[in-house]
């Protein structure tokens, strides 16, 4: 079922979302300051490519205060807008029964794009 969901996701916009995250990650990695944020874009982009069958969880152990500072910077600079975009698409897809699994994936991407530091995908 995950394979079918990933194929449908990929055809109907998942590849475009993946490309957007990859381009943003490359642009952020141009500067030394933006490298940690670019890496997070790559992480979210890989999840956006094939979201079915993958889970997001907090990193076990102490991530330190740097993770919190980076999450605040990420949220202020652009994370809130990315999360709102996933929220809007999730709500639109949740209106129909067929769109519910895809809405769930947008909500998963929304939580990761809100605070990506200190989280891992497995």
Whole-angstrom Cα distance, residue 71 to residue 50? 24
pLDDT for residue 54: 92
pLDDT at 13 over 80: yes
Whole-angstrom Cα distance, residue 14 to residue 21? 11
The pTM for the full model equals 0.87
Per the structure block, which two tokens stand in for 50? 């094939």
Per the structure block, which two tokens stand in for 109? 């991407």
pLDDT for residue 64: 75
Give how many domains the chain has, as a whole number. Answer: 1
pLDDT, one tens digit per residue, over 81-110 is: 999 999 999 999 899 889 999 999 999 999
Whole-angstrom Cα distance, residue 70 to residue 36? 8
Mean pLDDT value of segment 52-60: 88
pLDDT band at 78 (very low <50, low <70, confident <90, very high): confident
> Are 117 and 59 contacting, i.e. CB atoms less than 8 angstroms apart?
no
- Give the domain extent around 109: 2-121
């Amino acid at each position: 079922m995950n394979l079918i969901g990933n194929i449908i996701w990929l055809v109907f916009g998942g590849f475009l979302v993946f490309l957007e995250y990859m381009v943003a990650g490359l642009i952020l990695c141009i500067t030394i300051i933006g490298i940690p944020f670019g890496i997070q874009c790559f992480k979210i982009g890989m999840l956006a490519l094939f979201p079915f069958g993958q889970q997001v969880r907090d990193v076990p152990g102490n991530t330190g205060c740097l993770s919190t500072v980076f999450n605040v910077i990420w949220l202020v600079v652009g994370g809130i807008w990315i999360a709102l975009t996933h929220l809007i698409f999730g709500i639109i897809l949740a209106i129909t029964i067929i769109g519910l699994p895809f809405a769930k994936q947008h909500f998963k991407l929304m939580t990761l794009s809100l605070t990506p530091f200190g989280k891992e995908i497995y």
